[in-house]
Amino acid sequence: MSAKRICLKSLVRFGLLGILALIVVFVYFTGISARLWNCHLQARERVIPFLKGAKLDQENQQENTTISNFNDDDLLIRLMQNSKMLEELFFYHLKNPKIELEERDLFKQLGLQLQQTIRVARMLYSDIEKLYSNAFREKQQELEKLNALAFSFISNSQNPSNCSSAKKLFCNVKHHCGLGCMMHHYSLCLFIALGTNRVMIWDLNQVTEYPGLQDAIKSPSHCQSSKEELASAPEWRSPQETEPTPSDAPIVKVTGYKNSVFAPNTVPSQFLPRIELVLADPLTWWTGQVMNYLFRLKESMSKEVEDFKTKTGFGHPIVGIHVRRTDKIKEANYQDLNSYMEYAINWYDQYVIRHGNVRRKIYLASDDPAIMEEAKSKYTNYQFIFGESACSDVYSRFTKNGLFGIVKDIFLLRGCDYVVLTMSSNIGRMIQEMRQTSLQDATFHFANLDYSYHANGGRDIVHEVLLYHNPLVHCDRKARRHTDGSCELTMKVGDRITNYPMMKRGTMLGGFNQRTNQVGMYPAFKVKTILVPESYPISMVENDVF
C-alpha cells in the first residue's frame, strides 16, 4: 500500500471524526441559541426562514460536472479549505455576533451566518463522502469475500452431509409477536446452534399469526426430525449454568432466552480482525449474516417480490422510509412523517451535489394508510411507492395474512440506497442488520429516529470512553438513576458505559457508567463500541475456504 493511500485513509478517518466533532459543536452551539430563542419567541420566527433557505437551491443543482470530476487530491485541498471556512464561521462569526446591533438585525445576522455554515458543512460532507467511497472501493473485495465466507460457514454448519449423525437443536418458540420479533427469536437459536455445532430445526406451524410462512421462507436445514423426537428433546442448558447439557446430546430444545455466549452482539473471533478493518459496525454485520440466512425466500415468494418491484417502478436512486405506527405508538415516541422526510430530503439534496438532478423516489412502508395520503399531499415533488394500497389488487396466496406486505417491505427497504428507520421496531432493526450483508457500509446509509441499536436476548452494548467528559449538568450522586435524559455522566478515559438503548436523544446516548454506578447521558463522539470476539467452531484455512 502506497504512502499516499495510507495518508488518504487516515485523512478520511480523521475527516469523518472531524465532521462528527463539528456537528457536535454545532448541536451544542445551536443548543445555546435555542435557549436564547426561547426567551425571544419572535426572534425565532426571524431566524428560521433563513435556515430553511439553506436547502439546496437551483444554483447548486447545476454544479454537476465540475464537482463530480474532482479527483482525490482536489478533494483533499477542498476539504481543508472548507473545514477552515467552517471553523471560521463557527468561531468568529457565530460566536462573536455584532452585539451592538438591534435585536432584530442581530438575529437576522445570526440566521444568515448559520445558513452559510450549513451550506459549507454540506459541501464538506459531500467531499468527505466522495473520498470515503473512493477509498471503500478497495475494501469491497474483502467485504465480498467475508460475506461469502460467513454464508458458507452458516450454510455448511446447518447442512451436514450425514443428517442422522448430526447433533440437532429444536428451536421451540412459544412466544407470539410480529414477524420481526419472531425472526429475532429464531435467530437466538441459530446463534447457539452455530456456536455449539448443531443443526437448527424449527416448526413454523408454531407461528400461528403468519400461516403460509413456511411456503415463503426456506428452512435453515435440509435435515429433519420426527415430531416425537422434537417433543421429547431435553431443554438445553448453557455451560454457564449448573448441570449444563452434555455437548454430545443428540438433540436439545431451546425455549425462550438462554444465557449463551453465542448471542447477538458478538462476532466470531475468526472474522473480527478482518471485518473491523472494513466496516464501522462489525457486531451488526455478524447478526446480519445470521438474519440473512434465516430469511432466505423461497422461489415463489422471491418472484412475487421481484414482480412487485417491476410493477411499482422500484429503481435507483431510492430512499426507503419505514413508519411503524399502530401498536408501536404505545411503546416508542411518536414520530411524525416530517421527521422521516427531513432525512430523505437532506439525502437527496446531498445526492444532487454529486450526481445532478434526479427523480426523487421514496419507498414508503407503513401500517398506517393515512400516512400515504399525507405524503402525497405534502411532498408533491417526490414520487412515492407505497406498500399496502398499491399491492392490494395483486393476487397472491401470501396476501391474506399480511405476510406478503411485510416480506415485501423488508426486502424492498433492504435494497434502498438509504433508509430512515426506527430502532425501536424489530422490523427496523432487522432491515438494518440485513443491510450489513450488502457491499456497502450500511452504517453510513441509514438514519435512525429513536432508540440506539440493540438486540433483545443479545449481549449489552458496552462503550469505552475515549475522551474525558465533565458536563455542565452532572448526574446527582445520590439519585443514581436518571433515565429521563436530564443530566450527563462524568467520564474518565477508559471508563466502560453499558448502553441503555431507550435513552438515546439524537447524538446523546444514555447508559450506566460501570465505574461510578451512575446512569445518565453521554455524547456519542466520545466513546467507541467494545467488540466481543467469541470462539465459534469455524476453522479457516489459508485459501479462505472452510
162 is a contact residue toward ligand NAG (CB under 6 A): yes
Q: Judged by CB, which is closer to ligand NAG: 165, or 380?
A: 165
Distance CA 138, CA 285 (A): 19
Query: Are 126 and 350 a contacting pair, CB within 8 Å?
Result: yes
Least distance from ligand NAG to the Cβ atom of residue 359, Å: 11
Least distance from ligand NAG to the Cβ atom of residue 197, Å: 15
Least distance from ligand NAG to the Cβ atom of residue 221, Å: 15
Distance CA 21, CA 513 (A): 22
Give the binding range for ligand NAG (CB under 6 A) out of 159-167, 304-312, 470-478, 507-515. 159-167
Contacts of 526 (CB under 8 A, 6+ apart): 465, 466, 467, 469, 491
Least distance from ligand NAG to the Cβ atom of residue 65, Å: 6
Least distance from ligand NAG to the Cβ atom of residue 201, Å: 17
Taking CB under 6 A as the criterion, the residue among 160, 356, 485, 533 binding ligand NAG is 356
Query: Are 482 and 457 a contacting pair, CB within 8 Å?
Result: no
Q: Judged by CB, which is closer to ligand NAG: 356, or 533?
A: 356
Q: Judged by CB, which is closer to ligand NAG: 102, or 248?
A: 248
Grid coordinates belonging to 30: 445551536
Taking CB under 6 A as the criterion, which residues in 251-290 touch ligand NAG?
Answer: none
In the shown chain, the binding pattern of residues 357 to 386 toward ligand NAG, with x for contact by CB under 6 A and - for none, equals x-----------------------------
Give the binding range for ligand NAG (CB under 6 A) out of 20-28, 34-42, 157-165, 275-283. 157-165
Complete DSSP assignment for 223-241:
----HHHHHHPPBP--TTS
Query: Are 457 and 188 a contacting pair, CB within 8 Å?
Result: yes
Give the binding range for ligand NAG (CB under 6 A) out of 135-143, 162-170, 468-476, 495-503. 162-170
Distance CA 209, CA 400 (A): 11
Tell me, rounded to whole angstroms, the distance of Cα 477 from its chain centroid. 33
Distance CA 267, CA 532 (A): 6
Distance CA 133, CA 449 (A): 25
Other CB atoms within a 10 A radius of the CB of residue 236 amount to 24
Q: Judged by CB, which is closer to ligand NAG: 162, or 326?
A: 162
Give the binding range for ligand NAG (CB under 6 A) out of 11-19, 90-98, 160-168, 495-503. 160-168
Q: Judged by CB, which is closer to ligand NAG: 6, or 358?
A: 358
Taking CB under 6 A as the criterion, the residue among 2, 71, 164, 381 binding ligand NAG is 164
Complete DSSP assignment for 361-423:
EEEEEES-THHHHHHHHH-TTSEEEESHHHHTTS--TTGGGTHHHHHHHHHHHHTSSEEEE-T
197 is a contact residue toward ligand NAG (CB under 6 A): no
Closest to 196 in 3D by CA, of 270, 267, 252: 252
Task: Please give the DSSP secondary-structure letter assigned to residue 445.
Answer: G
Least distance from ligand NAG to the Cβ atom of residue 508, Å: 39
Least distance from ligand NAG to the Cβ atom of residue 57, Å: 14
Q: Judged by CB, which is closer to ligand NAG: 96, or 161?
A: 161
At position 9, the amino acid (one-letter code) is: K
Q: Judged by CB, which is closer to ligand NAG: 67, or 391?
A: 67
165 is a contact residue toward ligand NAG (CB under 6 A): yes
Taking CB under 6 A as the criterion, which residues in 39-78 touch ligand NAG?
Answer: 64-65
Distance CA 185, CA 166 (A): 23
Tell me, rounded to whole angstroms, the distance of Cα 280 from its chain centroid. 11
Distance CA 521, CA 519 (A): 7
Q: Judged by CB, which is closer to ligand NAG: 160, or 533?
A: 160
Q: Judged by CB, which is closer to ligand NAG: 165, or 392?
A: 165
Distance CA 362, CA 174 (A): 37
Q: Are strands 533-534 and 383-386 parallel, antiparallel or unpaired?
A: unpaired
Q: Is the N-terminal amide bond of 239 cis, ω within 30° of 0?
A: no
Least distance from ligand NAG to the Cβ atom of residue 351, Å: 12
Cα three-residue angle 519-525-527, rounded to 5 degrees: 55
Residue 192 is inside which H or E element, if any?
helix 179-195
Which residue has the closest beta carbon to ligand NAG? 356
Residue for grid cell 451436514:
160
Least distance from ligand NAG to the Cβ atom of residue 162, Å: 4
Least distance from ligand NAG to the Cβ atom of residue 435, Å: 27
Other CB atoms within a 10 A radius of the CB of residue 62 amount to 11
Least distance from ligand NAG to the Cβ atom of residue 62, Å: 7
Q: Judged by CB, which is closer to ligand NAG: 272, or 353?
A: 353
Q: Judged by CB, which is closer to ligand NAG: 198, or 328?
A: 198
The count of residues interacting with ligand NAG (CB under 6 A) is 7
470 is a contact residue toward ligand NAG (CB under 6 A): no
Q: Judged by CB, which is closer to ligand NAG: 60, or 81?
A: 60
Query: Are 401 and 212 a contacting pair, CB within 8 Å?
Result: yes
Q: Judged by CB, which is closer to ligand NAG: 56, or 188?
A: 56
317 is a contact residue toward ligand NAG (CB under 6 A): no
| Contact residues: ligand NAG, CB under 6 A | 64-65, 162, 164-165, 356-357
